[in-house]
Amino acid sequence: MSSSTSERPPLHLLIAAPRGFCAGVDRAIKIVELAIEQHGAPVYVRHEIVHNRFVVDRLAGMGAVFVAELDAVPDGRPVVFSAHGVPKSVTAAAEDRGLAYLDATCPLVSKVHRQAQRLIDADRHILFIGHAGHPEVIGTFGQVPSGTMSLVESVDDVAELTVPDEHNLAFLTQTTLSVDDTAEIVAALQARFPAIRAPRGEDICYATSNRQAAVKEIARRCDRMLVIGAPNSSNSLRLGEVAERLGTPARLIQRATDIDWDWLGTPATLGLTAGASAPEVLVREVIDALAQRFAVREEEIAHVKEDMIFKLPRELVA
C-alpha cells in the first residue's frame, strides 16, 4: 500500500534512544563472526547467540550452526557459548571432549556469576530474582551447587520462601528484568529478611535500565508503542510492559511484517524502540513500512548516550 504524502495521515514518530544493540550483544555477534573468519565454517553455537531471529539467520548464512546441546557438536569443530551464559557443567563437558570453545557470555552476566560464587564461598544462601527457564537464569544457577540458590519471580514468592538461615542470605538478579518490578521484589525481601546482603552494584545491566528509561521518556506522549524484539527476549518484553504501565498500548514485533495495522489504527503519535538484541536495520525497516501508510515525521528522543565497549576474547584478537 502506498499513496502520495498528501493522502497519508500524519504520524509523529518518537524514536527512543538508546535502543537496539548493547555492548554485550555486539561482542557476542562479533565473536561468532571472527570465529567463522578464523576457523572457517561451520562454527557451532550452543543455543541462540542472542535472542533475535534476524541475527541468528544472518550468522547461519555465514556458516554458524546453532545447536541445543554440545552433543550435536562434532569433534574438532569450535563451539561458541551464547551471550546469556552457560552452567559450569557445559564448560566442563566441552573441556572433557577437548572442544575448542569461545565464551560469548556478556561480561555483566559473568559479573553476576562471580558474585554468586563469592557468596557461596562465604556460606550464604542466594535468593535469585529472575524468570524461570530463561537461559541466563539456568546459566547462573549452574554456577553454584544445587540447593544453594532459590528463585524469586515475584513479590508473592517472597512470602512463600523457606530459607535455611534468614540471617545468612544474599540476593542477586537477572540482568534483563523490569527495573520497577525488581525494586518491589527487593523491597519485599529486605522487609522480610532485614539482614539480607545486597549486591555490591546494580545487577540489572546498564542497557536494560537505559532502554526502559528511554521508553518512560516518550510513552506518555504516544498513542501506541511498537517494540522491536523477539518473544523470548526478556529485555524486549519488559519494554512493552513499561509502556503499558504508563497507559500506552504496546505491541512486540520481530520486524515490519509483524505490524498489526488494524491494532495500530491511525495514531497521531507513535513510539518506537528496540530491545538490546534487535539490530538497527530492523528499526529502519519498520520506519519504512510506516512511511508507506503515513506521512511520518521522525523525532529521536535521547535519554542518555551509551559508549560501553567490551573486549573480545584474547584468542580472537591475537
Residue 200 — very low, low, confident or very high, per pLDDT cuts 50/70/90? confident
List 136, 160, 184, 298, catalytic entry: 136
What percentage of the chain carries pLDDT values higher than 90? 96
Structural Rg of the chain based on CA atoms: 21
Question: Comparing C-alpha atoms, which of 194, 232, 265 is closest to residue 11?
Answer: 265
What's the confidence (pLDDT) of residue 282?
98
Query: Yes or no: is domain 23-106 CATH 3.40.50.11270?
Result: yes
In sequence order, the β-bridge partners of residue 43 are 64
C-beta neighbour count of 306 within 10 angstroms: 16
**Strand, helix or coil for residue 66:** strand
Average pLDDT over residues 151-176: 97
CA distance 209 to 11: 28
C-alpha cell recorded at residue 18: 538508546
> Could you please report the per-residue DSSP string of 115-154?
HHHHHHHTTPEEEEES-TT-HHHHHHHTTS-TTSEEEE-S
**Strand, helix or coil for residue 10:** strand
Considering the domain 107-203 in this protein, what is its CATH number? 3.40.1010.20
What's the confidence (pLDDT) of residue 5?
59
- Is the fold of 23-106 the same as that of 107-203? no
C-beta neighbour count of 171 within 10 angstroms: 24
Question: Comparing C-alpha atoms, which of 236, 130, 104, 244 is closest to residue 185?
Answer: 130
Given a contact cutoff of 8 angstroms between Cβ atoms, the answer to whether 240 and 251 are in contact is yes
Given a contact cutoff of 8 angstroms between Cβ atoms, the answer to whether 254 and 262 are in contact is no
* Model pTM score: 0.94
160 is catalytic: no
CA distance 297 to 295: 7
Average pLDDT, the chain: 96
Note the pLDDT tens digit of each residue in 9-67.
Answer: 999 999 999 999 999 999 999 999 999 999 999 999 999 999 999 999 999 999 999 99
Residue 251 has, within 13 A of its CA and on its CB side, a CA count of: 17
Cell match 552494584: residue? 201
Residue 3 — very low, low, confident or very high, per pLDDT cuts 50/70/90? low
Note the pLDDT tens digit of each residue in 237-246.
Answer: 999 999 999 9
CA distance 275 to 133: 19
Omega into 267 within 30° of 0, i.e. cis?
A: no
What's the confidence (pLDDT) of residue 55?
98
Q: Which are the contacts of 69, defined by CB distance < 8 A and separation ≥ 6?
A: 46
Residue 118 has, within 13 A of its CA and on its CB side, a CA count of: 13
Query: Yes or no: is domain 8-21+206-302 CATH 1.10.3720.10?
Result: no
C-alpha cell recorded at residue 69: 546441546
Given a contact cutoff of 8 angstroms between Cβ atoms, the answer to whether 216 and 246 are in contact is yes
C-beta neighbour count of 136 within 10 angstroms: 24
Burial 257-270 (b: 16+ CB within 10 A, else e): eebeeeebeebebb
Residue 34 has, within 13 A of its CA and on its CB side, a CA count of: 17
CA distance 151 to 167: 18
Domain ranges for the chain, please list them: 8-21+206-302, 23-106, 107-203
